[in-house]
Amino acid sequence: MNHDSPRTRPPLFSQIDVSQANCPPSSGGRQDVEQTRLLRELLAAQDRQNELLEEMVVQFGAAQRQRAAELGQWKQANPHLAQSCRAAAEALGRVQTEFLESLTSEVNANYENLLDGEFMLNEFVDRFGPRMAHLNGLLQVLSQLSAVPNPTGANMP
């Protein structure tokens, strides 16, 4: 191998000139007509896709408004229970915080065992995973039932 001459690398980027002057003359109107037809089909498909997305937004928005209205009616019919849900959600939030502290302490103390041993990792997940999932689910339900209704949010289009 010759170390006297520096090795040259091919450039990472190249330049392509796409200006009209370098384009070959059109081989015929037939190809231009075909390209135009394809572009129109693409545009029509994209327009249809946009229409479908708009319909989906309307449907999801209507369902969300319906759920919000039903939840608001439930809260008005059960104000004492809604307040109890708020207190329970706050208390369960504190429980979740303590649970997360114990979980993170366990991870930090046994990091290498969890990393190296599949058995230890499975035991950890079995021990903390279901509790975390159920706790999060309970907190979500309690929070939704205790949330203060948003009158401006319920009337959104």
User: For 73-90, what is each residue's pLDDT tens digit?
Assistant: 988 898 899 899 999 999
Per-residue exposure over 26-45, b if at least 16 CB sit within 10 Å of its own CB, e if not = eeeeeeeeeeeeeeeeeeee
Residue 150 has pLDDT above 80, yes or no: no
- The structure's pTM equals 0.53
Mean pLDDT of the chain: 83
Could you tell me which of 156, 140, 148 has the C-alpha nearest to residue 71? 148
CA–CA separation, 87 vs 145, rounded Å?
11
Q: Could you tell me how many residues make up the chain? A: 157
Angle (deg, nearest 10), helices 29-77 and 79-109: 120
Residue 115 phi, psi (nearest 5): -75, -40
CB 149 within 8 A of CB 95: no
